Copies of this chain bind each other. A is one copy, B any other.
C-alpha cells in the first residue's frame, strides 16, 4: 500500500490528511507537537484571555476515526528526495511514496536570530506562554521596585498579529488590573507598535490600514510607522540612533519559511518558500508536494498566495486530490486560490474586514470576526468554554488566564540569562 507522509499538522497538513480519508493508502502525519493549533487565536493566549487548551486539539484525536492515518510526535530535520526518506530528530528515517511538506513558517528576525532571546515571537503555545509570562511579570517587578516611570511594551510589526497583540494590551493595563497594584499606576503603561513600512496591515486596502491606525490610537496604542528596528536588547529596541527603553519586546515583524524547504534541493525564494509547480509538487519530484506557508504559489494577478489558514487548507485538499488522481492514473489539477477575504481584529468592538472591494469596519466587523472564529473552531470541542471566556472578558474587562506558572526564583534566573545572553549557536 503506498505510504503518504505528511509533515506538519497545521491547517494545510490536517486538510491534506482529512482529504485522504478512506483512500487505500497508509498515511503518517508527523508533527513536532502533539496538537493542531488554532493559530488565529494564539494572541488571546498571550494576552491571558484563553487557556492554551482552548485553542488546541491533539492531532491523533482529530484523526481518530481515520483508520488509514497514524500520527507521530517527531521533529523532521531533513528530506532526502532522491532516496524518498524523511530524517527525524532522533536519527530515525521514514520512507515515503508521496510526501506532503506542510511545515509552515517561523518568526524571522531579519537575520539576527539572537534577538529572539529578547523578543519572543508568536507562533507556538510555548511562545504565547512566554509573552504572557513576560508581560505579567513586568508588572510584578515594577510593583516591587515602586517604579515611577510607566512600563513600556514594544510590539514590533504592524501586520495582523502585531495589531491584534498591541490592541489587546491597553485593555489589560487600564481595566483588568484596576485596583490591584499599590505602588504603580498601570493605566499609564505605554504600548508602542512599530511598523517598518508606511502603513499597518499592508495586505489590506489602504483605507482599512488607516482605520486600523485610528482604532489603535483610540485604544491607547502609540503607533510608529516607518520605524526600522536596527537592534533589540534585553531592555530596549534601537531605531537607528534612537534607543527606546522597553520592559518587554514582542516580535511580530516577519516570518520565514521552515528551514525544511531548503533541504528539498529545489529553488526557494528569499524568505525560504519553495517555488512549486501548478499542481503544488516540486520541480523534478512529482511525488513531493509543498503546501501552506512554506509554498510560494504565484497568483495570476501577480504576487503570491498569502500565508493564511484558508489558503493552506485549500492547498492541502488539492495536494491530496493530486495524489489520489495519480494513483488512479488521472491527470493532476492545478491549484487555484479562492480568496475568501481578510479579517483582522484590533480590540474591543474594533476590527477590519475586506471581501474583494467590500469593506466592513468597527463593531460589525468585530462581530463578524467573532462569528467566523467560533465557526472555524468547529471540530474542536472548545467552543462553549471559549464563548464563556469571551463573554467574561467582554463584560467584566477582566482576564481569566493571568497565570505565571513559574516561581519568583525561576523568573529571576530566566531574566538574568536574557540580560547576559550567550552568542547565538
**Chain A interface residues (CB < 8 Å from chain B):** 32-35, 51-54, 56, 58, 60-61, 63-65, 70-75, 89-90, 124-126, 129, 136-137, 140, 143-144, 178-183, 381-382, 384-385, 388-389, 392, 396, 398, 400-409, 411-412
Q: Nearest chain-B residue to A398 (Cβ)?
A: B381
Cβ-defined contact, A34 with B180, below 8 A: no
Give A118 Cβ to nearest chain B Cβ, in Å.
21
Known A74-B408, A409-B89: A136·B403 in contact at CB below 8 Å: no
Is A64 in contact with B179, judged by CB distance below 8 angstroms? Answer: yes
Give chain B residues whose Cβ lies under 8 Å from the Cβ of A63. 180
- In angstroms, Cα B405 to Cα A52, docked, is 8
Residue on B with the closest CB to A33? B407
Minimum CB–CB distance for A183 against chain B, Å: 7
In the complex the two chains form, what is the Cα distance from A32 to B32 in whole Å? 32
Q: A140 touching B182 by the CB < 8 A rule?
A: no
Does B53 lie within 8 Å of A400, measured CB to CB?
yes
Task: Determine whether the beta carbon of B75 is less than 8 Å from that of A403.
Answer: no
* Cβ–Cβ contact A74 & B144, under 8 A: yes
> Would you give 7 A-B contacts (Cβ < 8 Å), ordered by A?
A34-B403, A53-B403, A58-B402, A65-B179, A70-B143, A90-B412, A126-B405
- CA separation between A136 and B143, bound complex, in Å? 38
B34 adjacent to A404 (CB under 8 Å): yes
Known contacts A75-B409, A408-B74; decide if A52 and B392 are in contact (CB<8 Å). no
Query: Told that A34-B137, A124-B407 touch, could you supply 7 new A-B pairs with CB distance under 8 A?
Result: A34-B136, A34-B403, A51-B52, A52-B403, A73-B411, A74-B408, A89-B412
A178, closest chain B residue (CB): B64
A405 vs B180: C-alpha distance in the bound complex, in angstroms?
30
Q: Nearest 10 A-B pairs (CB), nearest first?
A: A51-B51, A32-B407, A53-B401, A73-B140, A70-B182, A75-B408, A60-B180, A34-B404, A64-B179, A64-B180
A408 touches B180 (CB 8 A): no
User: Are A33's CB and B404's CB within 8 A?
Assistant: yes
The residues of B that contact A400 with a CB separation of less than 8 Å are: 53, 381-382
Report yes or no: A408 in contact with B125, Cβ–Cβ below 8 A: no
Write the nearest CB–CB distance from A175 to chain B, whole angstroms: 12
B residues less than 8 Å from A124 (CB atoms): 405, 407
Q: How far is the CB of A64 from chain B (nearest CB, A)?
A: 4
Partner of A388 from the list B32, B73, B384 (CB cut-off 8 Å) is B384
The answer, among B73, B182, B389, B404, for a CB contact under 8 Å with A408, is B73
Contacts of A389 in B (CB 8 A): 385
A408 and B33 contacting across the interface, CB-CB below 8 Å: yes
Q: How far is the CB of A209 from chain B (nearest CB, A)?
A: 34
Establish whether residues B405 and A183, one from each chain, have CB atoms under 8 Å apart when the complex forms.
Answer: no
Partner of A72, one of B144, B180, B384: B144
User: Which residues of chain B have C-beta atoms less than 8 A from A392's C-beta?
Assistant: 381
Q: How far is the CA of A65 from the CA of B180 in the complex (A)?
A: 8
CB-CB under 8 A from A140, the residues of chain B are 34, 72-73
